[in-house]
Amino acid sequence: MSILAQNKLPLGSQRHFHKYHVPSIHTRVHCSATTTTKPKTEPNRLVVEPQVVLPTPSLSTNSARPVLNDPSLLSTWSHRAWVASGCTTVLISLAKSLAGAANSHIWLEPVLAGLVGYILADLGSGVYHWGIDNYGDASTPSFGTQIEAFQGHHKWPWTITRRQFANNLHALARAVTFTVLPIDLLCNDPIIHGFVAVCSGCIMFSQQFHAWAHGTKSRLPPLVVALQDLSILVSRSQHAAHHRPPYNNNYCIVSGVWNEFLDKQMVFEALEMILFFKLGVRPRSWSEPNSDWTEEAETPSQLTVS
């Protein structure tokens, strides 16, 4: 005969067990219908047997500490091939813009189109960076690998300076190849190509600009330092603010020209509210940063294989 404990136990005999991170106590309640080994056991008496159950350890996707020669930081021939194809499509677009401008004797419009492309590339990098920082996980279709990489980047931001060139750029280079190649084949307008060449080139190399923003001044090429100081490339000081709590600002990583406007106008906060009320999805930036987002500095033990 089975009996529900909450219906049969007297109020004073109920036990309340609280769960902690230490081994927790679970109870197994059963009823003995007849007396067995103990002659004084009453029929239908409830017997409570404590049972120790060890908690299941939580899993973290960022548990593995990176090292200098981690294979995931190295470039493969596939990575190099995609970067080569991306650069080729961008250079073809740039060549068509220059050739078209020379043939038609118009230079101002293609140059202005390139400037617009440069400015919009910074905005695009910010929107994309905000999206993968706050939504999705490693299992997200198409973007899962990049989302996981950016989450690890917040834990160990110095790793981007150790990532090889093609490894760092190949995902964006692949997207640029598929986007720009049809334009190269179907269009000859120098103004359109002026915009496409600069915009796609800046987007493809945005991850390299990002890596330079994590570099130390003494290790960067003097030209890169000069471009950062002129705010033509995102500066080290500006991007450093993105890696400090609350981790919800300075998302743009081409020039950073949009960061001040987007943060002051709370554009991303407004988008987060819209997505929350429409879809019920909370961004990661609303939660208190946990250990997966707490930055760990580079240590000597991480420079060799463990």
Q: Amino acid identity of 154?
A: H
For residues 69-83, give the mean pLDDT: 89
pLDDT of 23-73, one tens digit each? 444 444 444 444 444 445 455 555 444 444 333 333 334 445 656 567 778
Give 18 or 195, the one with higher predicted confidence.
Answer: 195
Is residue 302 over pLDDT 80? no
Contacts of 98 (CB under 8 A, 6+ apart): 110, 190
* From 92-96, 135-139, 180-184, 296-300, the region with the lowest mean pLDDT: 296-300
Is residue 292 over pLDDT 80? no
pLDDT at 34: 46
* Region for residue 47 given its phi and psi (left: phi exceeds 0; alpha: psi -120 to 50; beta: otherwise): beta
- Please state, rounded to an integer, the average pLDDT across all residues of the chain: 79
For residues 66-94, give the mean pLDDT: 89
* From 12-26, 103-117, 273-287, the region with the lowest mean pLDDT: 12-26
For residues 201-221, give the mean pLDDT: 94
pLDDT at 54: 38
pLDDT at 272: 94
Q: Yes or no: say if 228 and 249 are a contact pair by the CB < 8 Å rule.
A: no
pLDDT of 178-202, one tens digit each? 999 999 999 999 999 999 999 999 9
Q: Yes or no: say if 19 and 46 are a contact pair by the CB < 8 Å rule.
A: no
pLDDT at 20: 40
CA dist 131 and 283 (Å) reads 9
- Which residue, chain included where needed, has tokens 């961008």? 90
pLDDT of 115-170, one tens digit each? 999 999 999 999 999 999 889 887 888 777 777 777 767 677 778 888 899 999 99
Contacts of 180 (CB under 8 A, 6+ apart): 86, 89, 90, 92, 93, 196, 200
**Rounded percentage of the chain residues whose pLDDT exceeds 70:** 70
pLDDT at 65: 62
pTM score, two decimals?
0.72
Which of these, 196, 178, 58, lies nearest to 124 by C-alpha position? 196
Give 76 or 293, the one with higher predicted confidence.
Answer: 76
